[in-house]
Amino acid sequence: MNATYLVDRGIKYLLLAAALLSVVIVLLIGLFILGESLPAFQQIPLNELLLGKVWRPQRELYGLWPMILGSVYVTIGAIVLGLPFALGGAIFLAEIAPAWMRRVMRPAVELLAGIPSVVYGLVGMIVLVPAVRQLFPVPYNTGFGLLSASIVLAIMVLPTITNIAEDAIRAVPPEYKHGSLALGATHWQTIVRVILPAARSGILAAIILGVGRALGETMAMIMVIGNSVIIPQPLTDNPLTMILSQGRTLTGNVAVEISYATGLHEDALFATGVVLFVFIMLVNSLAQVLVRAGGKGEK
């Protein structure tokens, strides 16, 4: 055996160990949360825990349904608000922007991902919440609620979706674009009818990862959503005013109460973490399925 072969084998096993370490860490975290939550699952019926509408630890009522709905609503709102801007930014950076503008805008987009979530929450609480309260003069509208949370979350997931979608667009073979242009299609027609369909698996993966990022956000949501343990309801007869309702997310529920929880209350918060953990796993699994399905479709 020569030195080059030994170095190659050593690097191979080192990388394998790093990959296995990541898997082990995830498993250990999952086992720890599950172990701490077992008393809650043993003492609280699963349907009551997941579908119960009341969370009152003092009365031993541990219904997570309001928090589940809060997490789902703000995540959907964030994707609806943020996806057009994120996808548009990815298309612009990959296909339209001149090189000098790309060199300026790409670091700016990446910088958004590095800003601490508490800063987003602070800006949302000081700037966005009063703006929502003034723009929508609806009874009981405090500005804290699903709309404010969705807007803040949309800005936070924007760099994740933009960067991954841009990489997916750039990964499309240039022959596709050249062939379309040679057949007489305009640049925009080529983008819409050739490049985006070819990159759809990567774009779908970007969206799903953005959903996972939104589900896991904590601090900013605590600061702008209102943290009321209620099922979001319209504030008036207009059903659209539901977006102004306050709420609470699964992550917010854990962060707000874990510091003083004891006994079954603490176990129920760990059970909240298990529910969130399962949600994230399902989202990531869906991303993998969509990517594989998209890859087969492209072939």
* Dihedral sign, Cα of residue 203, residue 204, residue 205, residue 210: positive
Residue 297: is its pLDDT beyond 80?
no
Distance CA(68)–CA(272), nearest Å, equals: 9
- Rounded average pLDDT over 157-164: 92
Q: What is the pLDDT of residues 50-82, one digit of tens each?
A: 999 999 998 989 999 999 999 999 999 999 999
pLDDT given at position 200:
87
What is the phi/psi pair of residue 62, to 5°?
-125, 65
Residue entry with tokens 């869906």: 286
Distance CA(276)–CA(71), nearest Å, equals: 9
pLDDT given at position 82:
93
∠59-62-66 over CA atoms, to 5°?
A: 120
Topology of the domain comprising 44-298: MetI-like fold (1.10.3720)
Residue 30: is its pLDDT beyond 80?
yes
Q: 63 by DSSP, 3-state: which? A: coil
Q: What is the pLDDT of residues 228-254, one digit of tens each?
A: 899 999 998 889 899 999 999 999 999
Q: Which two tokens stand for residue 261?
A: 């929880």
CA dihedral 72, 73, 78, 84 (to 10 degrees): 100
Give the burial class of 223: count Cβ atoms within 10 A of its Cβ; 0-12 exposed, 13-18 middle, 19 or more buried: buried
